[in-house]
Amino acid sequence: MKQIITILLLALAMTGDLHAQKIFGTRNGKIGFISPTDDDVKAVNNEVSSRISDNGQMTFSLLIKGFRFKYAEMQDHFNDQYLESTKFPRADFKGMITNLGDISFSKDGTYKAIVKGDLLMHGVTKNVLVNGVIEIKGGKPSVKASFVIVMKDFKIDAASVTDKVTVEINCQYQ
């Protein structure tokens, strides 16, 4: 009986090694946004936590108050009136690379990526599809992507300033 248990445990351990996923992370990713109609509606957050694994899983998490604006007044309005960052302090994304077969995490190169997942912001979760680029250099990935968020989709009343923003992602992983 002991031999059977030992053999099963050894087989499980070997299988785990063969299929172990590689996970890359960062705590200083960059996500910014800009309004296509008002250049003053522009901010950047350089404290984005993100993980990407070679099995296609991808996550992003950030504090809303981490966005920095050119004008302090705009930052105050953004946090207090529009995003209500005290009530909704975080934005999170969890998704999967849908074209994982086109990407090699073990070979340097630039790969187009399609990511589908759920974006939680301002208390609302929406399914989003994002096209981007994953570059592998020296065995480490970096991600760049751009997509549009319609404010009313997330119950954000910013119509007096803008009805949508273009979000840009730039993360380098270790």
| pLDDT, tens digit, 9 for 90 and up, residues 98-126 | 999 999 999 999 999 999 999 999 999 99
Q: For Cα atoms 119, 75, 163, give the angle at the middle one, nearest 5 degrees.
A: 55
Q: List pLDDT tens digits, range 42-72.
A: 999 999 999 999 999 999 999 999 999 999 9
Domain boundaries, the chain: 21-172
- Quickly count: other Cβ atoms within 10 Å of residue 121's Cβ: 20
What does the pLDDT read at residue 48? Answer: 98
Q: What is the DSSP string of 66-127?
A: G-EESSHHHHHHIIIIIS-TTTS-EEEEEEEETTGGG--TTS-EEEEEEEEEEEEETTEEEE
Distance CA 48, CA 66 (A): 9
Pull the structure tokens for residue 50. Answer: 């993100």
Is pTM beyond 0.95? Reply is: no
Token match 């050894």: residue? Answer: 10
Please, which pLDDT band fits residue 168 given cuts at 50, 70 and 90? Answer: very high
What is the number of H-type helices and E-type strands within the chain?
2, 9
Q: Which residues contact 55 (CB under 8 A, 6 or more apart)?
A: 21, 100
Pull the structure tokens for residue 69. Answer: 């604006």
Q: What is the topology classification, in CATH, of domain 21-172?
A: Lipocalin (2.40.128)
Pull the structure tokens for residue 92. Answer: 């999170």
Burial of 109 (0-12, 13-18, 19+ CB in 10 A): exposed
- Positive/negative CA dihedral, 100, 92, 173, 134: positive
Pull the structure tokens for residue 44. Answer: 């950047």
φ and ψ of 50, to 5 deg: -150, 150
Task: Output Rg (C-alpha) for the chain, integer angstroms.
Answer: 20
pLDDT at residue 167 greater than cutoff 50: yes
